[in-house]
């Protein structure tokens, strides 16, 4: 039976706002802006970072040198299994109560703070006029070897065939480190910084 790990403790970074969903990692200058939640139970859990002012050329490691990292020793696949969606606010320009949710994930990997991958998954279409959904749909990507951190960044679009699609991303990424020690485990995550919806998923890392 696969072990499930729930990551529920926060690492906050105080940064300004981002322009779009799925942009890259943070600047190294934001190291000093990290405020760690003293209630965290385990130093091997990195919960999230804010993607605000995020560019693919820069990165701020939201861990510290105190972490003992475990690296993957070969190519891996990361599968993200979407399990639950609940709309909290009206999104449709036509005044309809339920939106047309389209969900993807930008997956970012690092080795000791150095970026290795930034891959956007295919889109999960939950249908039209959907206010609540509970099932299991997955997307999978291949990742580089030798990584020790993974961040899962949810992208949320309310699709509209007649108007501009609207993005409602929280602009947060949710991550875990020591990933070489978490092969085959179900990492439970949710976009708890989002204001328009509830989104829950789990991630599984496996060797190819």
Per-residue buried b or exposed e for 25-38, using 16+ beta carbons within 10 Å of the residue's own CB: bbeeebeeebeeee
pLDDT, tens digit, for every residue of 163-206?
A: 667 888 898 999 999 999 999 999 999 999 999 999 999 999 99
How do the residues of the chain divide into helix, strand and coil, expressed in percent and rounded to 5?
Answer: 5, 45, 50
Q: What is the pTM of this model?
A: 0.73
pLDDT, tens digit, for every residue of 83-134?
A: 999 999 887 656 667 889 999 999 999 999 899 999 999 999 999 999 999 9
Distance of alpha carbon 136 from alpha carbon 85, whole angstroms: 11
200 to 1, 4, 60, 81, 189: CA distances (angstroms) = 21, 14, 25, 9, 6
What would the CATH number be for the domain defined by 4-207?
A: 2.60.40.150
Distance of alpha carbon 27 from alpha carbon 100, whole angstroms: 34
């Amino acid at each position: 039976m696969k072990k499930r790990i729930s990551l529920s403790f926060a690492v906050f970074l105080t940064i300004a706002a981002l322009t779009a969903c799925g942009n890259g990692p943070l600047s190294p200058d934001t190291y000093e802006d990290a405020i760690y939640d003293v209630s965290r139970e385990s130093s091997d859990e990195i919960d999230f970072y804010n993607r605000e002012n995020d560019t693919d050329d820069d990165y701020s490691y939201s861990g510290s040198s105190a972490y003992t990292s475990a690296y993957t020793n070969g190519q891996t696949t990361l599968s993200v299994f979407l399990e639950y969606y609940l709309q909290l606010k009206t999104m449709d320009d036509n005044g309809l109560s339920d939106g047309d949710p389209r969900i993807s994930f930008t997956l970012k990997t690092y080795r000791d703070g150095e970026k290795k991958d930034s891959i956007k998954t295919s889109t999960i279409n939950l249908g039209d006029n959907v206010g609540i959904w509970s099932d299991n749909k997955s997307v999978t990507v291949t990742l580089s070897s030798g990584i020790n951190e993974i961040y899962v960044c949810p992208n949320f679009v309310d699709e509209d065939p007649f108007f501009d699609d609207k993005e409602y991303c929280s602009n947060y990424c949710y991550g875990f480190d020591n990933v070489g020690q978490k092969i085959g485990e179900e990492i439970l995550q949710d976009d708890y910084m989002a204001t328009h919806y509830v989104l829950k998923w789990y991630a599984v890392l496996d060797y190819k």
